[in-house]
Amino acid sequence: MSQHDLNPATSEFDPEEKEKQLREESNSWDTTQIEDAQPGDIPVLDLSEYFETGSKTALNSIAQSLKTACEEVGFFSIVGHQVGKNQMQQMFETVRQFHALPLEVKQTLLMDRPDWPIGGVGYMPVKNRKLPSRDKPNLNEAFIVKCDNVLTMDDNQWPEESQLPKFRETVERYANTLENLGRRLMPIYATALNMPETFFDAAFTSPLYRLRMTHYPPLKLDSDDDFGIAPHVDTTFCTILAQDQPGLSIFSERRQIWVNAPALEDAFIVNTGELLKQWTNDRFLSVKHFANNNLGDQSRYSIPFFLNANPDYKMTYIESCCGPDNPPKYPPISYNESQATVQGE
């Protein structure tokens, strides 16, 4: 079937209405019953053969595994990703050092402060109600940097070098490594969708990404505090998560229950976001999830990398995801037009 045999959806997509809907839905999600994940709840994909050989056979094999994971689960773990263990450990140590700074120092870097021209970057204190915006506060503190086709690392807020030596250097190096990992995943996503390996290349020449360095301090619950990060779905193409200990719960579409995701050594957890869900005409799942409260006596840290296409790239429906009985559900739309307002940009 030719792409010209179908017409793109012409109805308006309202991202703010979609976020309102998700916020209302999240208030009704029952998260009281959670089980530990079973084999198959979060598939493990080993990238090593494809990354080491680049062979077509290895690509087709790993693409089939990714296709199944994205269509049936929405989450998967990756190993063999070639991000060095030392770099991951160094990044976690750097995040720990940042959050150990005095609160008054971190507050000089507050997100969305009036005297900083770029929104959505900087420090968010404990009990923030942003990212995601929900009725109850998020029991974490976080520091966020982002880049895209216009913004550079210079546009972000940074602690003084004297306050935290080599912090920016370490963060930039890690962000570059994760951006490169994201690009290396694109031929796998494209092959999984029966498209040419280079299908996503033009969309990711200058991608928008956010790197969130999150600290979940040990806290006691009170009546208003339920989550480390409230239940939500991501707005991304995909999210690549590093965590130093378990703390993520996802909704298993297969079993229709919440499950606790394990923290596999030297692995990342990857999930589909709303951007890719729309691009695939809802073929790939964007699954609800949340971060548990930290009820232990040790701090917990996670470092999600939120990857999006170029902010102004128009995403027209993918031919393999549509047909006469499954017409396009979304109009051609860019990140700026679909998700940016939800993120406060």
Q: What does the pLDDT read at residue 342? A: 60
Q: What does the pLDDT read at residue 344? A: 53
CB 276 within 8 Å of CB 237: yes
CB 273 within 8 Å of CB 238: yes
Burial (CB < 10 A; 0-12, 13-18, 19+), residue 54, is exposed
User: In the numeric block, which tokens belong to residue 137?
Assistant: 């506060």
CB 174 within 8 Å of CB 164: no
Residue 335's region, left for phi above 0, alpha for psi from -120 to 50, else beta, is alpha
Instruction: Return d(Cα 125, Cα 111) in angstroms, integer.
Output: 9
Q: Looking at domain 3-338, does it have CATH number 2.60.120.330?
A: yes
Please state the length of the chain. Answer: 345
**Which amino acid is it at 77?**
S
DSSP symbols for 217-272: ------TT--BSEEEE---SSEEEEEESS--EEEEETTTTEEEEPP--TT-EEEEE
Alpha-carbon separation of residue 273 from 95, 113, 251, 263, 335 (angstroms): 25, 28, 14, 20, 12
- Nearest to 216, CA basis, from 135, 124, 83: 124
User: In the numeric block, which tokens belong to residue 264?
Assistant: 């596999």
**Which amino acid is it at 71?**
E
- Nearest to 285, CA basis, from 262, 255, 253: 253
Where in the chain are the domains?
A: 3-338
Instruction: Return d(Cα 339, Cα 275) in angstroms, integer.
Output: 8
Per-residue pLDDT of the chain (345 residues; tens, 9 = 90+): 344 345 555 556 566 676 667 666 666 677 778 899 988 899 999 999 999 999 999 999 999 999 999 999 999 999 999 999 999 999 999 999 999 999 999 999 999 999 999 989 999 999 887 655 556 778 899 999 999 999 999 999 999 999 999 999 999 999 999 999 999 999 999 999 999 999 999 999 999 999 999 999 998 765 455 788 888 899 999 999 999 999 999 999 889 999 999 999 999 999 999 999 999 999 999 999 999 888 888 999 999 999 999 999 999 989 999 999 999 999 998 988 876 666 555
Give kind and range of the element (H or E) at residue 230: strand 229-232
